[in-house]
Each structure stands twice: as structure tokens, then as C-alpha cells.
Structure 1
Amino acid sequence: MVSIRFTKGSVCKWTVGLIGAFIFLVTVKKLAIETKHDKEDALSRQDYEKRRIFKEGHDRKLLKKESNHELINNEDPFKIPSDDILKSMTYEEIAALYHGYVDNVGVLCRNIVRLGKLKDGGWEVCHDQQYRPPNNCLVYSAGIKNDFSFDDAIAKQYGCEVHSFDPSMTQKSYRRSERVFFHSIGLSDVNVHIPANKTGWEMRTLGAIKQELGHAKRRVHVLKMDIEHWEWKVLPQAIASGFLDDVTTLDLELHSWIRNKTYIYEVPAKDYLEYLRTLRQLHQLGFRIFLTHKNLGSCQFRSRFGMMRTSCQEIAMVQTKIKMGM
């Protein structure tokens, strides 16, 4: 056997050596860790910088879109094609396109405000900065049926000057309140007096009303129409005359029916075609639906294609091409 003797001096040398080796290993490990952290920090900084640049670019694009009032989502859920394509579609396809279009939104409104009754009679405006009614707002509200809840509410909420129209009420024109004025006239595509043996109504185009009320140079910030199928006469004329060029919010109840005393029937394909042409023109002007809902009750009917549908669709639209401050 080999015997190993440890002297006091050799023990000290071994101890010093072990301590030195331990310190060396700790130092090397620390340097390795610091190097790794430095690399990770550098990668983190690079990643952060990339994300910062991307976010700034994304925010600039979003702000540019919003400042120009472009759609948040530029994909229309139901695009209305040209007349050539529409005419080649089947009756079932045209009906599905109409109901699909009016049942889907085309622009984002982050803050929707309902004014008036929660049930039938109330209507919505978009309170987002670029669409909300300003302090000097002007509102035309057609189709009252003795329910002024929307008219009174928007006058109170935004301080709007409101002009209410309905020839079917047994009520002469009068000033309802400081800001709300009632006019016993109706909307049409022509200026006409309907004989007393029919309705006896005074009917005006929107452009004629605007001139008569002295609003020719003013913007109509909200136009609400619930006029029982007359909208399909009024809208094309309002588009052609340029009246809708100066409208920000368009609240509509769209009626698609042929009714008798008992039943509602689906309109023929040629009527759906005319409705789609009008909606396409509104789209071209920049109007997009931000809220839509079906009015049920007596408006429900069974389509000839099997499904249940409604002939009364309430939609709220905003003009997305307007400039800030208008």
C-alpha cells in the first residue's frame, strides 16, 4: 500500500488551490450568465423596438383611417353587385341578398345611444366623435304617429333643432317646444296635394322642405324616416337631388311587403331589385349600417322560399365620407 502523508503546509496548499478553483468556476459561470443575460437583453430590446415600430405604424394607420372616416373593416359582408349581375340572379338569390344586406353592419360605432322609447318609437345615433350630433344640430324626423319620444329626447340630449313631419295625424302644424316643431306634411318624391277624397295630405320632397324652412345652407345631422313604404320613393329622389350629401345619420325603417287586410306577402323580384339599387346608391355615397334589428310582430311572414322573414327592418346608418367638424 501507498501511504499519503499530509503535512500542514501541503494542506494549506490544497485548500488554497480548491478555493482558487472554486472562485474561478464561480467567476466563469457568472460571466456566462451575464453574457447570456446581455444577449437576452439585446434580443429583448430588439424585439421591443420591432414591436414599438410596428405598433406606432399600426396606430398611425388606424388614426389615418379614423381621421378619414374609412371603415374599420373594409370587407362588406354582403356586396351589392352591378345591375348586369343582379339581373342574372334568381329570385331566391336576390331576396337573400336584400335581407342579408339589411341584417348586417358595415361600420363600427363604439358608442351607440338610443333616444326615445326602448320599444317602437326610439331610434339610435352614433356618439363617436366624428358622427355625434354637434351643438347646432338639425334633425328631420318623418313618421311620428303621435310618438314624439325620439324627437323630444334628441332635442334635450344634444340641443338639436328638430322638425317633425306626419300628415296622417289629426293635428295642425305647431311649435311643440322651444326646439321641436311639428309640420302636418309628408315626404314624397314630388310636391303634391293629395285630394281630400283620398287622404288630403300635403306632400313635399326633402329638398323642397329644406328650402321652405330656410335650411338650404344647413347640414341635416340626423334624418329619421318611418314612413310606411314611402321611403322607396323618397330615397331615390333625395339621392338624385343631392339632399343626402348633407346628411350625417340616417335612421330608417325599411318596408318590404305586399299586404292585404290579413296577410303579408313577399315582394316580387323586381321590387327587391329596386330596393337593392337604392341601397347600393346609399353605399356609394358612403352610408354604412352601424346598427340593425328586425321589427317583428305583425311584420313577420313566411317567405316563398321556406324561411321566416320580416318585412320591417330598422337600420341606423352613418355617412363615412364626411370631414371632421361638419
Structure 2
Amino acid sequence: MRCTKWSMSKRTSLILIGIFLFLGYKSAFFTVTRQHCPEEGNHKGVRVQESFQGANNNDDPFQIPPDHILKSMPYEELTSLYHGFVNNVGVLCKNIVRLGKPTDGGWEVCHDQQYRPPNNCLVYSAGINNDFSFDDAIAKQYGCEVHSFDPSMKKKSYRRSEQVFFHNIGISAVDVYIPANMTGWEMRTLGTIKQKLGHAKRRVDVLKMDIEHWEWKVLPQAIASGFLDAVTTLDLELHSWIRNKTYIYEPPAEFYLGYLRTLRQLHQLGFRIFLTHKNLGSCQFRSRFGMMRTSCQEIAMVQTKMKMGM
């Protein structure tokens, strides 16, 4: 009787071992098959892997690959990568302070010790549209010297308060005066403005720009000139559109390539998004790929690789 029980128990054990071995073999088979799947390897899998190899940091959920990969990506993937990147946070700020209006017009700074505006802080605020709520608030909160720029308001340069100065100047990628029969605006690069105001040896603690798509010309020039090396906080409204008086259209693929190159350069400099939100309302449009998008994305970034000495 013991022999019969032992035999049944042994048979049961052998059956269970066989099942486990079969499941293990099946799992290994499918793992190997997926790793060598040519369709996956030649499509998204390769791009994701190469993008991580080409990046300096692996701390962001959406990383922007080098140009040779970007240029091979389909239009839809470019749009998804852009909107995915600007919608995700890359660094934790434990204490975010909003300055100015709680609605459109207010902007954020990170109050954590390593990023907060210090004593004698310097702020450049470009794109005012007659709303000085952020400029006044950051001057009051931190005692910053604030320089506000906007050529579209048809106001002469003036001293708004003890700490806030308005300049009838626009921010551009080149120094140019637009003729009076067009806009009559004086346009200057950030580097030229910094020299002109006597701030060459000072750090710009906060740079805020809401300049209606001009950011995509200004930012590459500011990166190339080294201006952004001495900026701590970067508040931006990013505009991704083709616009006429009535409608907003999705930009073509080459526009997204330019957007992504600039965002990748900002990432390489050490800038990380700590807050992001969509500006909806009139900025919404339906993508040609079916989903609703916004062409106006407000992001707040901090420099995580700060070079001291300025």
C-alpha cells in the first residue's frame, strides 16, 4: 500500500515538474522571439533604444533622439514626441510659487533652496501685453530687479516702479529695426539687451518669454550665444501652430523637427521642466491624427547643471 501511495505521489510530482518545465520553455521561447522580431526592431524599438543611447541623462520619460533618428520618424511620431515631452515633468520641485494672476498672466518659480531667486535677483520678462502682474509680484516677493520687454504695446520705455523697468523693445534672434510701415519695432537679441543694460556679468535668475512663436527663433540663438548658460529659471509659453486670423493649423513635420531640436538642446544644457500646463480655449485644434491638441503650452524649467560664477 505504501508503495502504491509513493508511486502516485511520484507520478504527481513528475507531472508538476513537467508542467513547470513546459511553461518555462514557452516563456523563454516567446521572450527570444520578441527580442528578434524584425518588425519591432526596425520600428519603434530601435528608435527608443537609440534615443536613450544618445541622451546624457535617463531621467525623463520622453527623451529626444539625435537628428538622424528624428529625420526618419513619421510625422505622427514627431507630433507625439513633442507633445509627450512638453507634457511631462523632468525634475521635482517641492515648493512651487505662482506669481501674478492665478489665470493667464501669472508664472511660476521653484522656491526650493537651489532654485529660488536670491537676493539682488535679476528678471527679464518678455511679452507683457499690458499685464505686469507677474513682473510686479516677483519684484515684491523676492526684491528682484525686473526688466519688461514688449514693442507691441505702443508705449515708450519708462520706469514702472523702483524695481520694475519697461522697455519698448522686442526679443529677436537678430538685432534689427522693423520699418515703420510694417510695425516700427526695435528688435534685439537677449545678449545685446544684456550688454546694453550693463548686466554682462550678472546671472539672469528668471527669464520669462511669451512671445507668440518667436521663441523658436530666440531660443536657438540664446543657446548658441551662451546666454542661457547664466539663466536659472526659464518660463515659456510654447506655440506650436500655423495660424491665420481665423484658424489654428497643425504645423508641418519640419516645424516639429525644429521644435524638438531646440528642446533637446535645452535638455542638454541641463534645463528640466518642473511644471507644465496646457493653455486651452482659443489655442485648441484637432490634429490631423484625430486627437485634440493645444498649440499653447506653458512650461516652467530650472537649470539643473548650474555654472556658478555669475
Task: Establish whether TM, by shorter chain, passes 0.5.
Answer: yes
Residues in 1 aligned to 2:58 and 2:290: alpha-carbon distance in whole angstroms: 32
Residue 288 of structure 2 corresponds to residue 304 of structure 1: yes
2:191 to 199, 204, 207: 207
Residues in 2 aligned to 1:261 and 1:155: alpha-carbon distance in whole angstroms: 36
Residue 175 of structure 2 corresponds to residue 169 of structure 1: no
1:226 to 191, 206, 210: 210
1:243 to 214, 219, 227: 227
Residue 140 of structure 2 corresponds to residue 183 of structure 1: no
| Alignment gaps of 5+ in structure 1 | 1-72
After TM superposition, what 4+ stretches of structure 1 lie above 2 angstroms from structure 2? 323-326
1:232-275: CA deviations, max 9, x gaps? 01000000000000000000000000111211100000000000
Residues in 2 aligned to 1:300 and 1:124: alpha-carbon distance in whole angstroms: 23
1:111-164: CA deviations, max 9, x gaps? 000000000000000000000000110000000000000000000000000000
Partner of 2:260: 276
1:252 to 209, 232, 236: 236
Which letter maps to 1:156? K
Residues in 1 aligned to 2:70 and 2:247: alpha-carbon distance in whole angstroms: 28
Partner of 2:247: 263
Which letter maps to 2:219? L
- 1:137/1:220 contact within 8 Å kept: yes
Partner of 1:126: 110
SS in 2 for 1:163: strand
Which runs of structure 2 are paired with 1:49-60 in the superposition (5 Å)?
none
Residues in 1 aligned to 2:154 and 2:308: alpha-carbon distance in whole angstroms: 41
SS in 1 for 2:71: helix
1:80 to 61, 64, 78: 64
TM-score by length of structure 1 reads 0.77
Which letter maps to 1:165? F
Displacement after TM superposition at 1:322 (Å): 1.3
SS in 2 for 1:168: helix
**Identity rate of aligned residues, in percent?**
87
Residues in 1 aligned to 2:242 and 2:168: alpha-carbon distance in whole angstroms: 27
Which letter maps to 2:138? I
1:114 to 85, 90, 98: 98
- 1:130/1:324 contact within 8 Å kept: no
Partner of 1:97: 81
| Alignment gaps of 5+ in structure 2 | 1-56
Which letter maps to 1:171? K
- 1:94/1:272 contact within 8 Å kept: yes
Displacement after TM superposition at 1:223 (Å): 0.1
Asked which structure has the greater CA Rg, the reply is: 1
Residues in 2 aligned to 1:75 and 1:158: alpha-carbon distance in whole angstroms: 30
- 2:125/2:146 contact within 8 Å kept: yes
- 1:250/1:317 contact within 8 Å kept: yes
Which letter maps to 1:85? I
- Over the aligned positions, Cα root-mean-square deviation in angstroms equals 1.2
Residues in 2 aligned to 1:131 and 1:325: alpha-carbon distance in whole angstroms: 15
Residue 304 of structure 2 corresponds to residue 313 of structure 1: no
Moved more, 303-312 or 258-267: 258-267
Which letter maps to 1:97? L
Residue 201 of structure 2 corresponds to residue 217 of structure 1: yes
Partner of 1:55: none
Displacement after TM superposition at 1:323 (Å): 5.5
